[in-house]
Structure 1
Amino acid sequence: MPMWPLTEDHERLRLLVREFAKAEVAPRVAEMEATQAVEREVSALIAKQGWIGATIDTQYGGMGAGHLAKTLIIEELSCVSPAMGAVIQASQLGAAKIIRYGNNWQRREWLPRIADGSCLPTIAVTEPGSGGHVLGMQATAKREGSEYVLNGRKCYVGNAHIGDVHGVVVRTGSGSKGLSAFLVEEDRDGLSLLPHEPAMGLRGFSCGELVLEECRIPASNRIGREGDGLAIAYSSSVLYGRPNLTAVSLGIHQALVDETVRFAQDRQRYGGPLSDLPTIRGKLGQMQSRLMNARMLAYHAVHLLDQGTACDADLINAKYIGVETALDSARTAMEIHAAAGLQTNRPIERLVRDAFHTYAPAGTGDIQLLRLAETALGKTHSDWSAPTN
């Protein structure tokens, strides 16, 4: 099975994003932490770099660079600010449904604006009463002539307060064939947002709740056919949600290692740096090993995706291992920092909080294990990454 190759283009892109993050994002992190408000200015600046269009075809103004390039972009931003890495990953996820299921008009209408950063898309699937159980959703869309009328609520919508168009999956019928997807512009009558509520981590990132009350949209805003909603939700989660969250966790993991190594080298104990102690070196080695393994799985999975190889299980496994090992390293980092890790004037405390935000989106660890068990048992029903004719 082919392994991932990082080309010169990949390395140039990594360096470009890294330098941008250090120059433009790093100086704003302290303010984002202090205010806990939605960071609009930096989010817009990041979008204007064109990175949301990493997987958008060049004919629509995108980079056409693929999923490995997308991973590098998210990872490098997340190493400096996981909140801003989350901004770009959420909008790339929002673009997925148009890339894969949009018709020619929808692609021409939306993808160029997404690619140049003038339009931030979101995806809205989760509901307060159903959580990750997609088929349990209650929000509805009813056809009335040339329009649909939408009602219901969607929660945990990434970029909710800065999004320009929301990809909403709602019920148009019963059962698994009764879900459909729609594009709802942020200024539509009947669409409102609940106020931003700061979370434990990812401060600066918007993750809000949409309220749809007799919200009318033209039938041309439906993505795909009626009944395609489940496929749109699942494929977006597998092909974009999981690898994107994996990339965020990689950036956090790298920052955890960097900060902990810096601390261990600077802190003096017993006449020398803390890093001279064998027990500390063992912990640092453990963190580095976890990071290297997580990165290898992540890059390999998205390389397969770029090659058109069926790789759902690889993407799922990369998300599971990437998040779990980052959380393990967060604890190890706190063990090395000891009481110093509890101080809010050090990055480690922020990184630990941010790491927990990668666990639930696109499926918790339990969900990933369930899907991997289905693979082991030969009971998988769909492979969204398989080539389509």
Structure 2
Amino acid sequence: MKHLYLTEEHEMFRTALRKFLEKEAVPYFDQWEREHRVPREFWRKLGAQGYLGPSVPEEYGGAGVDFSYSVVIGEELERVGSGLTGIGLHNDIVLPYLLSYGSEAQKKKWLPGCVTGDIITAIAMTEPGAGSDLAGVRTTAVRDGDTYILNGQKTFITNGIASDLVLVVCKTDPHANPPHRGMSLIWVERGTPGFERGRQLEKVGQHSQDTAELFFDNCRVPASNLLGEEGKGFQYLTEKLQQERLVVAIAAQTSAEETLKETIAYVKQRKAFGQPISKFQNTRFTIAELATKIELGRAFLDQLIARHIAGEDVVMQVSMAKYWHTDMVKEVVAACMQLHGGYGYMEEYKVARRYRDVPVMSIYAGTNEIMKTIIAKSLGL
């Protein structure tokens, strides 16, 4: 299917990126999964080739291109493995906050390093007692002269170990009513006294992606690290979550496409009862059904990406995509594992890793139950 938002230039960009990943990522990805980390050298190699912060303006070292290039990067990284999701978070989730709301001093200080891979970013939203309910965060930032003093705990933070710059969701006014009006976003740099990383969390899947706990104990940061205006954190989060959820839907669609492609190749060569299992009606019907869902998913997603790039408000449709695509990929991967038989349960086959990696897509960036709540509200219910 021809993507609505891609040109010949994008295809050249994709070809170059795929060759780069086949050389610099694919041969090492299994090792990264075992070691539970993506090496910083790989980040710097991505930066050297222009694959970090593509939307960053040229004056700060980026290419200044639109979201369509991020889509290509995200798809190609997902084809390698979901454990590279932290790169997409850096490019398309954290950096847009800095680009949209950051001061000129903040942009000059951090954006060049974000483009080269010398600065890896993270966003710290979730807490042990607050996930989808962002207004319920308890981390506080108290103004003291020209500094803020942060206290609190975060968990499930993507890039939590590797990050050099963390955007922390906190309460600068814990007594605000309603609570979300007291929320702010503050940048905390690696090495700041009082900022400690907890353990790297052991997840069911996405092993090469580091996920961690973060602790702030009287962590004092300059007041100039406040992003935008105090008390507008919830507003900023709301404005940027559309793209974050779209990024997740794109990853889910790509994972489904790749898994089906690998499964079709497998059933053609795997024999049972004297013939390839692709000849059996059950196999053929199952694959036909999965291919249809994937094709329909791609059609919906592509027009949605085009509308997002055009600047349209598509919060309801993105919520639909985030919930539908992440449910769809779980169905596709489970069916493909079944078609692999016992081999599908073996780590040497990619479908086994996909089976572990994709379930969390329906949980992070807002659970699918929250997506349905947004959809219902948008429909006037």
TM-score normalised by length of structure 2: 0.93
Match of 1:257 in 2: 260
CA distance in 2, matches of 1:97, 1:60: 15
Deviations 1:74-125 (A, max 9, x none): 11111112111x0211212111211121122222222222123221111111
Residue 156 of structure 2 aligns with which residue? 156
1:267-346 to structure 2, matched below 5 A, reads: 267-346=270-349
Displacement, 1:281? Answer: 1.3
> Does the residue aligned with 1:195 lie in a helix, a strand or coil?
strand
The correspondence of residues 361-376 of structure 1 with structure 2, limited to 5 A, is 361-376=364-379
Q: Secondary structure at the match of 2:186?
A: strand
What does the per-residue CA deviation read over 1:314-347, in whole Å, with 9 as the maximum and x for residues that have no partner?
2222212221111110111122112221112211
Q: Which residue of 2 aligns with 1:57?
A: 57
d(CA) in 2 for partners of 1:162, 1:293:
37
Secondary structure, in 3 states, of the residue corresponding to 1:199? coil
Partner Cα separation in structure 2 for residue 313 and residue 111 of structure 1: 31
Question: What is the CA-CA distance between 1:38 and the residue it aligns to?
Answer: 5.2
SS of the residue aligned with 2:200? coil
1:235 aligns with 2:234: no
Bigger shift: residues 142-151 or 95-104: 95-104
1:347-386 alignment runs, 5 A limit: 347-377=350-380
Query: What residue in structure 1 maps to residue 70 of structure 2?
Result: 70
C-alpha contact (below 8 Å) 2:185/2:226 kept by paired residues: yes
Return the alpha-carbon distance in structure 2 between the equivalents of residues 212 and 38 of structure 1. 25
Aligned partners of 2:44, 2:356: CA distance in 1, in Å? 24
Is 1:214 aligned to 2:204, yes or no? no
Percent identical pairs in the alignment equals 26
SS of 2:207 mapped into structure 1: coil
The amino acid of 2:87's aligned partner reads: I
The AA in structure 2 aligned to 1:297 is F
- Which secondary structure state, in structure 1, belongs to the residue aligned with residue 180 of structure 2? coil
Q: Is the 8 A contact 2:44 2:116 kept in 1?
A: no
Tell me the C-alpha RMSD between the 2 structures.
Answer: 1.7
C-alpha deviation, 1:17, in angstroms: 2.0
Q: Distance in 2 between matches of 1:285 and 1:69?
A: 31
Gaps of 5+ in 1: 380-389
1:302 and 1:315 in contact (8 A); partners too = no
Amino acid at match of 1:208: A
Other-structure match for 1:384? none
* Correspondence for 1:386: none
Given the alignment of the two structures, is residue 226 of structure 1 paired with residue 225 of structure 2, yes or no?
A: no
For residue 181 of structure 1, the aligned residue among 182, 185, 188 is 185
Write the letter of the residue equivalent to 2:198: L
* Cα distance change on mapping 1:21 and 1:286 into 2, 3 Å: farther
Q: TM-score, normalised by structure 1?
A: 0.91
1:168 matched to which residue of 2?
168
Contact 2:198 2:215 in 1 (8 A): yes
Aligned residue for 1:29, secondary structure, equals helix
For residue 30 of structure 1, what is the aligned residue in structure 2?
Answer: 30
State the partner residue of 1:87. 86
1:285–1:65: structure 2 CA closer, same or farther, 3 Å change rule? farther
- Equivalent position SS for 2:358: helix
Distance in 2 (CA, whole Å) between partners of 1:144 and 1:14 is 49
Gaps of 5+ in 2: none
Aligned ranges 1:95-110 → 2 under 5 Å: 95-110=95-110
Deviation at 1:37, TM superposition (A): 4.3
Give the residue type in structure 2 aligned to 1:213.
D
- C-alpha spacing 1:154/1:329, structure 2 compared with 1 (3 Å): same
Q: SS in structure 1 opposite 2:379?
A: helix
1:151 deviates by 0.5
Change (3 A) 1:291 1:360: same
- Kindly provide the amino acid, as one letter, of the partner of residue 30 in structure 1: D
Q: How many residues align?
A: 374
Asked if 2 retains the 8 angstrom alpha-carbon contact of 1:83 and 1:202, the reply is yes
Map of 2:42 onto structure 1 = 42
Q: Is the 8 A contact 1:38 1:196 kept in 2?
A: no
Contact 1:38 1:203 in 2 (8 A): no
Aligned twin of 1:387: none
